[in-house]
Amino acid sequence: MSLTGGNRHDVTQLMPLPDAIPHIRGTRGRPRHRPRRLFADRGYDYDKYRRLLRARGITPKIARRGAAHGSGPGRTRWVVERTFARLHQCKRLQTRYEIRADLHLGLLQLAYSIICLRRLRTSFRNDQ
C-alpha cells in the first residue's frame, strides 16, 4: 500500500509500487523480486509506463482508453474494486479528513484488520 496526498494523480505511484513488493516465494530457486503481470485501469494507459514496466520484466495488463467496458483486465480488477467498497463501509475513509498521513494510515490498517476479521469469522462459520 502506498499513501500519497489526496490531490496527487495515482500514476505517480505506478513505478515505485512494484519496487516496494517484497520477495515472492514460489518453487525452488531464487525468489522473484517483481510480479509477472500488473493489472491496471484506464487511468494508467500511458505508453511511457508500459515501456518502463516491460523494461523491468513486468507484463502490463492495462485497459485501453476508448475500449468497451468489460474488456481487458476488468474481469480481474473486480477484486480491487470490491476491496475499495469494503473500505468505504468505514465512513471515515470515504473522504480523507485527517491531515496527518500517519493517522490516515492507522485508520486504513484498522479497517483492513476489521475486514480480515469479518472474513475469517464467515469462513469459520461455513466450515462447521
> pTM (2 decimals)?
0.66
Confidence of residue 51 (pLDDT cuts 50, 70, 90): very high
Confidence of residue 71 (pLDDT cuts 50, 70, 90): low
CA-nearest of 111, 62, 57, 67 to 88 is 111
